[in-house]
Structure 1
Amino acid sequence: MLDNIQSAVCVVAHPDDAEIGLFSTLEYLSMQSVPLHLIVMTGGSLGFAVQSNKQDNLRQIRKFELESAFSDINISLHYMDHQENSLSNNNHHISSLEKLILKLNCDTVFTHAGDNKYCDHQNHLAVSKIVTNICARKDFIRNLIYFSPVNGMASFSPNLFLYYSNALERKHSAISKHQSQHGRYYMNKNFLKESNIINRSRSNFSGLDVDKDILESFQLVFSKVANV
């Protein structure tokens, strides 16, 4: 599947969503010299660590954390800076994102899972609906792919499973760059190990090679045949 991707854009709600959901996949695509873009719809200014008080410059802090997390990956970062408490599937948010997606002209789009029963955050659901609306209308977008929700209890039904060797430490390191989120459960390395167990159960895969320590799961929403 990944070998057929010519260029990819990942659209997320918050600055740390991509690292949690598909860091290893983005890292792999970067190693294959696939042009990559990451669009962050909000600055994450309402998301602060549960063990500390909100900081006035949290939006700038979270941008710095994101750039640190992806410092070793060749990926272009784009910030939409929408307000978190107003993000919805409306004309303003659709049109502003659509202009950027048209400019980037990528054939593959990754985003949050898009069903209410999958949702672990209202902004994730809103972004998924916005992105799906755009992708369904653009012929140059060949692949729309949802990545797994953070909440392992969500009724997510993936049909694409990607395994990576010796990747756990690098993915955990990227997530750990988001120190403004210190205290959240996904900052603990055990979160990744638990996610692997959940994804293995979803794939009905009974075992995993010792050196393949990260499994990321996805739902391939559609894959269009390329024009010839």
Structure 2
Amino acid sequence: MAPPREHVVAVVAHPDDAELMCYGTLRRYREHGAAVTVVVVTTGVNGVSLADRDRGVSLTDQERAAESAASYDGSGIDLLLLGFTDGALVPDRQLVSGIEAELVRLGCTVLITHSLHAGPDHQDHLAVAQAAVNAATRVGTCTTILHGQPHAPRGDFHPTVLVDITDLLPDKVKALSEHQSQAGRWYLGGEYTRHRAADAGWTLAPARAADGHRFEAFETSLITLFTREEAR
């Protein structure tokens, strides 16, 4: 009997998070035949700076959802929006159960989510990471968890996995540019995206980084399942 098809699920807090953390990795998985789904937990409508809000700027669910859809147009990657409100997520029963239900339904084999070391990063990222890892422990098909690099540089992120995205980097920059409602945020710009992809390789693959290869970096959690016979 053929093994079940691999299904990679990225569970992220906001509409642009997966593009920032793992767009190239998701595309690479698709190239290798895996099914790929991005689960966006919140609507992202509160992604407006205080200065813009004072000027009357506001966002809608439809606007941010359309930007996400445009980011993955033609990629073969599915998009699922859970509709929670951004800015006040907590890893409670509702959030954990909502994520768990989707991981089970999709038959998730690889989970990609935020770092568990959020620090000054967005509080929603930490809540989603905690809830997703909690949920994954009860999903029998899920054997690997990858934690993406936080958007801002952090000293307590120690990657153990690099994914070469050199040829996909222009597509990643384009995908991020679809989030026009977030235009002007430094971490969404092409210059920073290219810098971060270059910097990611210097610790684990300096020779390849020096040759111009570009990467996305992850920490890992592994849930290895053995039957009694396999463990002998």
What TM-score, normalized by structure 1, do the two folds share? 0.88
Instruction: Please state how far the C-alpha of 1:204 moved relative to its aligned partner.
Output: 5.5
SS state of the match for residue 161, structure 1?
strand
Cα contact 2:48–2:58 (8 A) shared by 1: no
User: What's 1:100 paired with?
Assistant: 102
Cα contact 1:49–1:180 (8 A) shared by 2: no
Distance 1:183 1:95, change over 3 A: same
- Amino acid in structure 2 at the alignment position of 1:17: D
Q: Deviations over 1:26-71 (max 9, x none)?
A: 1111122211111100010110368845644432111000000000
Alignment of 1:159-178 (within 5 A): 159-178=160-179
User: What's 1:42 paired with?
Assistant: 42
d(CA) in 2 for partners of 1:108 and 1:49? 34
d(CA) in 1 for partners of 2:35 and 2:138? 22
Instruction: Please state how far the C-alpha of 1:120 moved relative to its aligned partner.
Output: 1.1
User: What's 1:122 paired with?
Assistant: 123
Alignment of 1:22-33 (within 5 A): 22-33=22-33
SS state of the match for residue 203, structure 1?
coil
Instruction: Please state how far the C-alpha of 1:89 moved relative to its aligned partner.
Output: 0.8
Cα contact 1:49–1:183 (8 A) shared by 2: no
Instruction: Please state how far the C-alpha of 1:166 moved relative to its aligned partner.
Output: 2.3
Distance 1:49 1:116, change over 3 A: closer
Distance 1:96 1:205, change over 3 A: same
- Amino acid in structure 2 at the alignment position of 1:71: D
d(CA) in 2 for partners of 1:130 and 1:141? 15
d(CA) in 2 for partners of 1:223 and 1:149? 22
User: What's 1:69 paired with?
Assistant: 71
- Amino acid in structure 1 at the alignment position of 2:184: G
d(CA) in 1 for partners of 2:5 and 2:219? 16
Cα contact 2:5–2:35 (8 A) shared by 1: no
Aligned length: 223
- Amino acid in structure 1 at the alignment position of 2:48: F
Instruction: Please state how far the C-alpha of 1:92 moved relative to its aligned partner.
Output: 1.2
Cα contact 1:164–1:215 (8 A) shared by 2: yes
d(CA) in 2 for partners of 1:16 and 1:104? 21
Q: Deviations over 1:121-140 (max 9, x none)?
A: 10000000000101122222
- Amino acid in structure 2 at the alignment position of 1:224: T
SS state of the match for residue 127, structure 1?
helix
Comparing 123-132 with 161-170, which one deviates more in the overlay? 161-170
Distance 1:162 1:90, change over 3 A: same
Q: CA RMSD in A?
A: 2.3
Q: Which has the larger radius of gyration?
A: 2
Cα contact 2:121–2:150 (8 A) shared by 1: yes
- Amino acid in structure 2 at the alignment position of 1:106: C
Q: Say which of 80, 83, 86 aligns to 1:81.
A: 83
Distance 1:211 1:194, change over 3 A: closer
* Structure 1 residue runs without a partner (length 5+): none
Cα contact 2:113–2:146 (8 A) shared by 1: yes
User: Matched residues, percent identical?
Assistant: 24
SS state of the match for residue 30, structure 1?
helix
User: What's 2:113 paired with?
Assistant: 111
SS state of the match for residue 88, structure 1?
coil
Instruction: Please state how far the C-alpha of 1:190 moved relative to its aligned partner.
Output: 1.4
SS state of the match for residue 200, structure 1?
coil
